[in-house]
Amino acid sequence: MEKFRAFAEFETFYAQFKPLTPQGRLYREARPFFTDAAALKAEYDLAEALAAFLDGARHKADKLRFHLRNIPALELSSGALSGAPGLFLARKFLFNASEIFRLLPAPLRARFGVKWASADLLALLNKGGHGEAFHISDAYSGELAGERAAIAACDPVLKQLREKRLKALRERWGLDFSERDFLVVDEKTSAKLGGAQELFLEPFDGGHVTVKPVYGQEYMEVASERDRLRGCEQELEAAAVKKLAAAVLAEKRNLETYAQALEKLDVAAERARLAAELKLVRPLIRKYHSPIKLAKGRFLPLESRLAAAALKYTPLTAVFAKRVSVIYGSNMGGKTVALKTLAFNQLLAQSGFFVPAASFETCLFDGAAFIGGAEMETAGGLSGFGLEMNDFVTAHARLKQGSLLLLMDEFARTTNSEEAAALLSAILEDLGGQASATAFLATHFSGLKAGKAAASFKMRGFDTAAFNEYFSGRAACGLGEKLKMINKFMRYELLQGGEGEEARDAIKIAGILGVGKAIIRRAQDFMEDKK
């Protein structure tokens, strides 16, 4: 599947799928591939329903995104709830969840499985909060308020005693501690301070002494009392935390249900956003095996690359009625892009997304595999050809486990054409006889014997007449312009038929790309001789 995803350049799309909640991000990491039509329909329905709700309602969409972004990860263990941070997160989760649910009309809430039943718990947690802030407030315990009032009474006394002592030290010894906890003085100065009861001295280095104020008995008594009160306060806070944690844990099931609903909402909202921004449509899923019908299917990664280079992009329209399809065509004629477009749309559809097409009718496959692009690879002593054969054996074995969408791009291109054609013909015939196989082969080999179960297609290819008319008297210069030239006159359309026809554009393309005129003419002579 990874190779299939890579071939379809799926990551370029998936990188734009950015759920906002931790729950949604976990879903994203799981990379679901739907093989169950009912489950996939449910995903499509949710995205469609949310899209309809948010359509044109910018304010609602912004509000939804704001609260989704503020949903924290939910940890509902007693350990995670043993302190104020855990409760802060529980409140933050509930607050944002409630705002999101309130935003949705009742029928939509029901579709996402939301039954809000935590108003009391949120009200309890809100006693410790205002805005986004939360603390173990006095409202959780009458005693807490008392302890805190007592601590609050200590603080000004301590401050007063401290200031009084610092003033005395300033007046008697000339030491200003007002912005410092301690001072460093030289030995000569420290010698004069030796007997001072209100100062604590200790060595700093060989020539200096650290001096700290000693605040006196009364200060120590108040500070000690404050420490005792703080201890009591901490105990009361811990008891309040325990009660609040118990209240949260009592609603664990509700919170988990909300988390599931938020995951669905987040994912559906992201899918709806992508559908609107990238002009995606809902695919039509038929039973296996049904014809695959793609109308103006776009391969988004290429479309954006071409747009950046100011080149035209041709969407793909095709009906693949049979389970085995062979796509013939010349070099740079768009065979691989046709396969990629199909793979891209199918992957999006089975990953729960709408697709970039005018319409897309397809069926679900239990798996997908891609074989190709191995000519530069070697692994475990296998050549590119060896790797392709190995991949085919693996894919073929999967046919016993369920339906498989198998894409093969220039399969066996690295071996001699005679043997390659024979091998391909045999493989196509075999796949035609396997009900679980739906295969697409793009090749520039001509005259394959694919059997009755296979359909043939060809890329329309290079428009020589238009090229000659345009090109007369002009000279292409850099590679960019040459590519533009090919792009301008290559007709990236898929036509029915083509079996037995040879692709005849390679020499023209070589000419455009700068191969010498003499060589091109000679090559054309050879072609004529062969005829």
Q: In what order do the strands lie in the sheet with 437-443?
A: 367-372, 404-409, 437-443, 324-328, 454-462, 490-496
**Contact status: 399 vs another protein (CB under 8 A):** no
Task: Please report how close the Cβ of residue 247 comes to another protein at its closest, in angstroms.
Answer: 18
Q: Which stretch binds another protein (CB under 8 A): 5-13, 203-211, 472-480, 485-493?
A: 203-211
How would you class 396 by CB atoms within 10 Å of its CB: exposed for 0-12, middle for 13-18, buried for 19 or more? middle
- Which pairs from 512-518 meet CB under 8 Å and 24+ separation? 512/476, 512/482, 512/485, 512/486, 513/479, 513/482, 513/486, 514/476, 514/482
**Contact status: 230 vs another protein (CB under 8 A):** yes
Taking CA atoms, 44 is separated from 34, 267, 284, 355, 436, in Å, by: 11, 11, 10, 11, 25
**Contact status: 215 vs another protein (CB under 8 A):** no
Alpha-carbon distance of 161 to 159, in angstroms, equals: 6
The one-letter amino acid at 286: R
- Residue 284: which of 365, 361, 363, 364 has the closest Cα? 361
The one-letter amino acid at 288: Y
**Contact status: 373 vs another protein (CB under 8 A):** no
| CA–centroid distance for 294 within its chain | 26
* Three-state DSSP class for residue 129: strand
* Three-state DSSP class for residue 514: coil
Q: Which stretch binds another protein (CB under 8 A): 149-157, 341-349, 422-430, 469-477?
A: 149-157
Alpha-carbon distance of 291 to 322, in angstroms, equals: 7
Rank residues 92 and 111 by Cβ distance to another protein and give the closer one: 92
Rank residues 186 and 218 by Cβ distance to another protein and give the closer one: 186
Strands (E), 119-266: 129-130, 133-134, 183-186, 199-205, 208-213
**Contact status: 151 vs another protein (CB under 8 A):** yes
**Contact status: 183 vs another protein (CB under 8 A):** yes
Binder among 84, 201, 319, 520 for another protein (CB under 8 A): 84
**Number of residues binding to another protein, judged by CB under 8 A:** 36
Rank residues 238 and 246 by Cβ distance to another protein and give the closer one: 238
Restricting to residues 232-261, name those near another protein by CB under 8 A: 233
Rank residues 263 and 391 by Cβ distance to another protein and give the closer one: 263
Strands (E), 261-416: 284-286, 292-297, 316-320, 324-328, 359-363, 367-372, 404-409
Rank residues 144 and 327 by Cβ distance to another protein and give the closer one: 144
Alpha-carbon distance of 61 to 67, in angstroms, equals: 10
Q: Which stretch binds another protein (CB under 8 A): 35-43, 178-186, 367-375, 521-529?
A: 178-186
**Contact status: 180 vs another protein (CB under 8 A):** yes
- The values of phi and psi at residue 7, to 5°, are -60, -40
**Contact status: 146 vs another protein (CB under 8 A):** no
Specify the DSSP class assigned to residue 383.
-
What residues contact residue 156 under an 8 Å CB cut-off, 6+ apart?
none
Task: Please report how close the Cβ of residue 31 comes to another protein at its closest, in angstroms.
Answer: 21
Crossing angle (nearest 10°) for helices 217-250 and 252-278? 80
**Contact status: 510 vs another protein (CB under 8 A):** no
CA end-to-end span of the chain: 43
**Contact status: 148 vs another protein (CB under 8 A):** yes
**Contact status: 165 vs another protein (CB under 8 A):** no
Task: Please report how close the Cβ of residue 282 comes to another protein at its closest, in angstroms.
Answer: 34
Token digits of residue 57? 């309602």
Q: Which stretch binds another protein (CB under 8 A): 13-21, 78-86, 100-108, 276-284?
A: 78-86
Binder among 62, 163, 202, 469 for another protein (CB under 8 A): 202
Task: Please report how close the Cβ of residue 135 comes to another protein at its closest, in angstroms.
Answer: 4
Q: Which stretch binds another protein (CB under 8 A): 206-214, 345-353, 423-431, 516-524?
A: 206-214
**Contact status: 278 vs another protein (CB under 8 A):** no
Which x/- pattern, by CB under 8 A, does the window 98-137 give for another protein? Answer: ----------------------------------xxxx--
**Contact status: 179 vs another protein (CB under 8 A):** yes
Rank residues 92 and 271 by Cβ distance to another protein and give the closer one: 92
**Contact status: 171 vs another protein (CB under 8 A):** no
**Contact status: 184 vs another protein (CB under 8 A):** yes
Rank residues 84 and 382 by Cβ distance to another protein and give the closer one: 84
* Three-state DSSP class for residue 350: helix
Spell 301-331 as b/e; 16+ CB within 10 A means b: bbbeebeeeeeebbbbbbebebbbbbbbbbb
Restricting to residues 56-75, name those near another protein by CB under 8 A: 72-73
Q: Which stretch binds another protein (CB under 8 A): 41-49, 77-85, 487-495, 514-522?
A: 77-85
346, 502 Cβ separation under 8 angstroms: no
Residues at the contact surface with another protein, assessed by CB under 8 A: 22, 72-73, 83-85, 88-89, 92, 132-135, 148, 151-152, 155, 175, 179-186, 189, 202, 204-208, 210, 230, 233
